[in-house]
């Protein structure tokens, strides 16, 4: 439908080279396919006890880098979450442009060694919701209930019918230019940590690009 690409990820599975390869393959298809539809990931699940057995920092680095690649794709990205959501499932949810969850969904950090996993989900939670909003989740492992996630703007919509919601998003995304979407996303990333004066040049460049494209269309 409208060039949509889909990946289903089970967060209960331990992080593995296969996890990296699956997400990398999705990114490859998204970058090769010039269709404008959204790239959608369906996520759920929490890693079971002992999930870090055999895990290396090198593999974690590869995963974090491919999640960052997903986060910067030149197409709209959408995550649909259900149930308990932690580990790789939470990573992808927080990296998506738009987040849809079913009623009862709970976000939480995976547990390791008597504490929470200190991966880049901690960074994204802090950047997106602020330190005060996520302290209990990071320090105590307290699940973030769906109402709390909405209040913190960690999710965009709670839907009883995610397929219907996705259909509406796909229709809207069909009118978007992927490269321009990526530029707007990058402006959002940078604007949270730069001054007006430092941000002005990037916004003027984007405005100039938009005017040139409009003039030649």
- Is the pLDDT at 175 greater than 70? The verdict is no
62 and 129 part of one domain? yes
Torsion angles phi and psi, residue 153, rounded to 5: 60, 25
Which of 47-56, 158-167, 180-189 comes out lowest in average pLDDT? 180-189
Q: How many domains does the chain have?
A: 2
Q: Summarize pLDDT for 39-86 with one digit per residue, the tens.
A: 999 999 999 888 999 999 999 999 999 999 999 998 889 999 999 999
144, 107 in Cβ contact below 8 A? yes
Predicted confidence (pLDDT) per residue in 26-51, tens digit: 999 998 876 667 899 999 999 988 89
> Do 135 and 192 fall within a single domain?
no
> What's the pLDDT band for 163 if we cut at 50, 70, 90?
confident
Residue 164 and residue 74 share a domain = yes
pLDDT digits (tens, 9 = 90+) for 91-106: 999 999 999 999 999 9
* CA–CA dist 49, 156 (Å, integer): 30
* Mean pLDDT across 1-15: 83
Whether 121 and 211 share a structural domain? no
Do 31 and 138 fall into the same domain? Answer: yes
Nearest to 13 by CA among 57, 47, 49: 47
pLDDT value for 15: 93
158 and 65, same domain (yes or no): yes
What confidence score (pLDDT) does residue 167 get?
82
Residues 107 and 131 grouped into a single domain:
yes
What CATH number corresponds to the domain at position 135? 3.90.226.10
Domain housing 71: 5-173
Closest CA to 95 of 63, 71, 65, 66: 71
Query: Quick one: 205 and 144 in the same domain?
Result: no
Confidence of residue 176 (pLDDT cuts 50, 70, 90): low
Q: Do 159 and 192 have their domain in common? A: no
Let me know whether 182 and 167 are in one domain: no
Indicate if the pLDDT at residue 14 is higher than 60. Answer: yes
Give yes or no: residues 38 and 137 share one domain. yes
pLDDT higher than 90, residue 22: yes
Write phi, then psi, for 207 (nearest 5 degrees): -65, -40
Instruction: Say if residue 58 is in the same domain as residue 156.
Output: yes
| Distance between first and last Cα of the chain | 26
């Amino acid at each position: 439908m409208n060039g949509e690409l889909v990946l289903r990820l089970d967060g209960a599975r331990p992080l593995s080279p296969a996890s990296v390869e699956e997400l990398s393959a999705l990114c490859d298809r998204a970058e090769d396919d010039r269709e404008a539809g959204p790239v959608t990931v369906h996520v759920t699940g929490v890693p079971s006890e002992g999930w870090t057995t055999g895990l290396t920092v090198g593999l974690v680095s590869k995963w974090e880098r491919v999640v960052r690649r997903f986060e910067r794709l030149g197409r709209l990205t959408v995550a649909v979450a259900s149930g308990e959501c932690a580990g790789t499932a939470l990573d992808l949810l927080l990296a998506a442009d738009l987040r849809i969850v079913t009623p009862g969904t709970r976000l939480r950090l995976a547990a390791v060694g008597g504490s929470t996993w200190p991966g880049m989900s901690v960074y994204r939670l802090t950047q997106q919701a602020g330190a005060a909003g996520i302290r209990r989740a990071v320090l105590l492992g307290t699940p973030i209930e769906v109402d709390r996630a909405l209040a913190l703007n960690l999710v965009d919509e709670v839907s009883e019918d995610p397929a219907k919601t996705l259909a509406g998003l796909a229709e809207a995304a069909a009118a978007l230019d992927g490269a321009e979407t990526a530029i707007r996303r990058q402006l959002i990333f940078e604007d949270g940590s730069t001054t007006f004066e430092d941000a002005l040049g990037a916004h003027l460049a984007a405005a100039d690009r938009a005017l040139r494209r409009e003039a030649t269309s």
